[in-house]
Structure formats: C-alpha cells, structure tokens
Structure 1
Amino acid sequence: MNYEIALEISYDYPDAVKDARHILRVRPRVEPGQRVSSISLAVSPKPDELVTERDFFGNQIDHVFIEPSHEEMSVTMKARVAVGRATFDLDATPAVGDLIDVANGSRLSNASAPAHFLSDSRIVRAVPAITAYARDSLDFSAPAGEAILAFSRRIQKEFKYDPEATEVDTPLEVAFRQREGVCQDFAHIMISALRGVGVPAAYVSGYIRTIPPPGKKRLEGADAMHAWVAVWLGAKIGWRGFDPTNGILALNDHIVVASGRDYSDVAPIDGVLITAGPHTTTHTVDVKPLDEIPLGR
C-alpha cells in the first residue's frame, strides 16, 4: 500500500513561552517492509535550531529549539510512504513456552534484542492481576503467533474503547481494572501481560489507515496517531506487530513511526518550556491511500 500522510500538532499557550526545547518523533521509520519516498517537516515559529538524529532504538527524532517568545506553536509533517510487510505463518512460530525459554536465554544486546523488552520500563511494569490475565489467556503449548493473536482479540473484545475514560498519564492498572481506555492503554496492558510471563514485547507508535463503513467516504483528518505491540517471535521470524485495539495483526494498514519500551520512548512530542496556566492542544492525522488522490494533484 502507498500512502500520503499528513500530521498537524498545535499548541496554544496562556502566556508567552521563551526558550522552548522539544523532541519530535513524528517521521515514519525506514525499515524492512516500509519505505519513505518523500517527507517534509515544518515547525512554527521557525526554530533557531533543528537537529535530526536516530535514537538507540533506531527512531528518527528531531531536536527543536525556539528562543523568541511565542504564544503558539505548530508542527506539520507530510510524507509519502510505501508499506509492504510480508505475511508469516502463525503455525510456524515456536510454542509460547519454548519462546519464553529462548528469549530469556538470549545473549543479544543490540537495539532489537529481546532482553530490552522483558523487564519493567518507565511506564509499564509487571502487575500480578495482569500477569494472571495473560496466564489465563495464553496456551503455552500453542504456536506463539496464534496464541498472541488470540490474546490481542480477547483484549479487543473485553475492553471498551473510550477516549474519555483515561488520560495520557493514567496508570495501566486503572485502565485494566475498569476495562476501558484507548490504544495506548491497551498496548501497555498487553505489554505488561506478555512481559509478566516472559514474552518480549515492545510499544509501537504510528499511523493507521481507517477504513470507512460500506458506502461512506473516509473522513479527512479523522485518523489519529495509533499504538500497537511488537512481539519477538524468535530469531527466525523476529518482531511482528499485533494490534489489541482492533484484534488484528499490524500489517499494511499500519505505518510505524517509533518503537520502544513504552510510550515514554516514543511520545510524538516531548519538551521543556516555561509558561503560566494550562495550554490547549490539537492533534490531527490524515492517512490517505494514494489511489484515492485525484490525478494531477
């Protein structure tokens, strides 16, 4: 699939901001199965410094410094991306129990090593009730691919998607207990559950193509940044995406931006600034398949 993606994030501050420093993680990754053919990034006010680099996990990040006083800030990212991930045989994956043994015995230390995604991280930690939920859900003798997809479908079925139920800093124990939340919550819960039983799991942030109901047009700007889970399925198959919000594999409708141990590693924007009072923010994403774009554009 070929996509045109547009992201806009804007902030309105109650008082003037000076010496603002931000870290942006909004550019789609270049990785196997995903190619970026064009990309542009605009920040307003124009930054005094803008430095692009890659972090330990291979995510492309932009360091932004804005010195003059400003009461508004906006980030606009546009990109064209081709996604063509190879499918894999769920039955050919190791049994869950065997996968756990191999993952915990791995001596790899590179960025994609399972060791980085087995322990507690800044936001995600092992919670006895969530670990028990995983043990109750997973057949440890079944192929891991099948078992983990079934687990993601259980989360999709039993948890209610409700943007009003949680905030960005709501503890995962709360979201798990109330069985409500958004994609970030469901990804954190699934990661905690899998790590709790010894399966390596990472947090993935990105964009997802939303498919409208039959006979309806896709809404411009109706998409948002999405979150799902990457699970290590052994050295042969590697990392594969599972989307607990939708109960599906993360394949060609998912565009990866960043991957890490939890949301704190991949937040689209971090920063340090001084102002007074609460600010307001808007965040819109449009993911458009290129075959929907009129000729001549």
Structure 2
Amino acid sequence: MKLTFGAPVTEHRFQLRCVPVTGPRQQVIDIAVQIEPRVELESTIDSFGSLVMTEYMPQAHTEFGYLVTGIAFVDNANIKEEPFKPLYRFQSELTKPGTAIGELVEQCRARLDALGEGVDELEPARQIMDAVYGAFEYTPGSTTVQTTAEEAFEQRKGVCQDYAHVMLSACRELGIPARYIAGLLGGEGATHAWVEVYHDRRWIGLDPTHDRMVDDNYITIAHGRGYRDCMLDIGVFSGNSVSQTQWVNASVHESLS
C-alpha cells in the first residue's frame, strides 16, 4: 500500500492490521514488513486475534506505505475448532437492516422454508449467499468504506465489502451467527472480503461476491463484526488542505516448490 499526500504532513499516528497470522485454517511463516518512512513498529493482538501495529511519525513526509510479504499454508479441509462468541449474532453499525434488507430477509426465509428436512446444515447459508449474489451488481466506485449494508443494497450495487455486509445482515436476522473477513484471494488485485458462519464448532467461509465456498485460495488477514473491526490501515495527521491518493496491490500465488 502506498499513500501519497498532496502536501507535507506531520504528527502522523497510524494503526495497521495488514499482516495475516496463523489461525484455525492457515499457518503463516516468513513474514516481513517494510514501512516507509522507516520506523520501529509497536505490535499487539486485538480482541479478535488480529495483529495490530502502531507508531507515530512526527517528522514531515509526503508519502507513507507498507509492504508485507510471507508464506501461508492454508488447509481449508481441516479447520480447527474455535469457541463460539455470541457477539456475532448481533448487527453492527454497518449491517443494521432497513426496508431493502428486510425484503431480502423475507425472500431468504421463503427459500429456507422450501428446503425441507435432511439438507446439509450449511445449505441455509449457501442460499443466503446465492440470494445476495443474484441481487447485486459488482460496481467499483459506487460505495465507500462508510457505506452501510442497507445503503448498498438499496442501490443493488457495491464491491466485496458491501456483498459481505449484506450477507452478514441477512444471516444475523435469520439466526445464523456470522462474521466479516478481510483477506486476500489468489491472483493479482486488491484485498478481498467475505463471510464466515459458525458451524460444527468451526467458522466456515462463504464468498458472496463470487457465490462460492471459500477454499485454499483465500488467506485471512482479520475478522470481526464488520469492516470497522478489520480496517487494514487507519491514521490521523496534521497538514494544511492535504489531498490523499492511495494505491494498493495484493498478489497471491501458489508456490510450486
């Protein structure tokens, strides 16, 4: 990630959640983090288990960025158990439903009622994912990081963050505990977001942007109730009428060695 300021800034305090960590479905090794301008980072683990790095740059600068490299061994077929946390039953500020999502929930409820008995226990979540996917048009630039699930679904346009928030909202309204995941998907591009639902003492991933179950091509960076618990980078600084331009690139490739 590279952030370019239109004028020098000072008193820059920042917080980063940009490093994948070892968890129930992945082992992460050989992590290297480079910060520009160079600074020693302070690290801690937040209440969701994400690695949080913070620091303060008092000196003037016009660029800020980080580069994270490493190796992740992902084993989606053997996800380890995690204790259940009741907070994932409840809506967050970005997932509170309104009229538009209320209509989606009723459509999903009808689909779930039609399933009958004997279906896979994950099928209700798959049905919700499919309903969200079918109702949305992937449209970059149509929303911001502040857009709520209701606002995005009213216009039926958004990006992966919006798909995830809408699915979270519908799942929670229908009694399915669900959490937001910020991470990486195999290939070249930006970071990605998807949903996990709690099933058989494990968190199972579903990607409403692509209408598919999460597999070994997905690397988790952070999880929480919604985007605000998983912001990869956030900061404040002092400056005079400063514009900002951000560039982000995520590259994930399978090692053949």
- Asked whether the two chains share a fold, i.e. TM above 0.5, the reply is yes
Contact 1:131 1:197 in 2 (8 A): no
1:145 equivalenced with 2:122 (yes/no): yes
Q: Which amino acid aligns with 1:257?
A: I
Deviations 1:165-188 (Å, cap 9, x if unpaired)? 222222322210111110000000
Cα offset, 1:143, TM superposition: 4.0
Q: 1:262 aligns with which of 226, 231, 234?
A: 226
Contact 2:104 2:170 in 1 (8 A): yes
- Aligned partner of 2:235 in structure 1 is 271
Q: CA RMSD in A?
A: 1.9
Q: Which amino acid aligns with 2:7?
A: D
- What TM-score comes out, normalization by structure 1 length? 0.78
SS of residue matched to 2:143: coil
SS of residue matched to 2:209: coil
- Aligned partner of 2:62 in structure 1 is 71
Contact 2:180 2:194 in 1 (8 A): yes
Q: Which amino acid aligns with 1:285?
A: A
Number of aligned residues: 248
- Aligned partner of 1:156 in structure 2 is 133
1:169 equivalenced with 2:157 (yes/no): no
Q: Which amino acid aligns with 2:35?
A: V
Contact 1:57 1:112 in 2 (8 A): no
Structure 2 unaligned segments of length 5 or more: list them.
none
Matches within 5 A, 1:11-160: 11-47=3-39, 49-86=40-77, 113-138=84-109, 139-140=112-113, 142-160=119-137
Moved over 6 A (4+): none
1:228 equivalenced with 2:197 (yes/no): no
- What TM-score comes out, normalization by structure 2 length? 0.90
Q: Which amino acid aligns with 1:31?
A: G
- Rounded Cα–Cα distance in structure 2 between residues aligned with 1:178 and 1:126: 14
Cα offset, 1:155, TM superposition: 1.9
- Rounded Cα–Cα distance in structure 1 between residues aligned with 2:102 and 2:205: 20
**Mean alpha-carbon deviation: is it higher for 223-232 or for 159-168?**
159-168
Q: 1:242 aligns with which of 189, 202, 206?
A: 206
Cα offset, 1:281, TM superposition: 0.8
Structure 1 unaligned segments of length 5 or more: list them.
1-8, 89-110, 211-221
- Aligned partner of 1:253 in structure 2 is 217
Cα separation, partners in 2 of 1:245 and 1:190, compared to 1, 3 Å: same
Q: Which amino acid aligns with 2:58?
A: E
- Rounded Cα–Cα distance in structure 2 between residues aligned with 1:178 and 1:226: 21
Cα offset, 1:246, TM superposition: 0.5
- Aligned partner of 2:247 in structure 1 is 282
Deviations 1:30-50 (Å, cap 9, x if unpaired)? 112201121000111112x41
Cα offset, 1:112, TM superposition: 5.2
- Rounded Cα–Cα distance in structure 2 between residues aligned with 1:250 and 1:63: 30
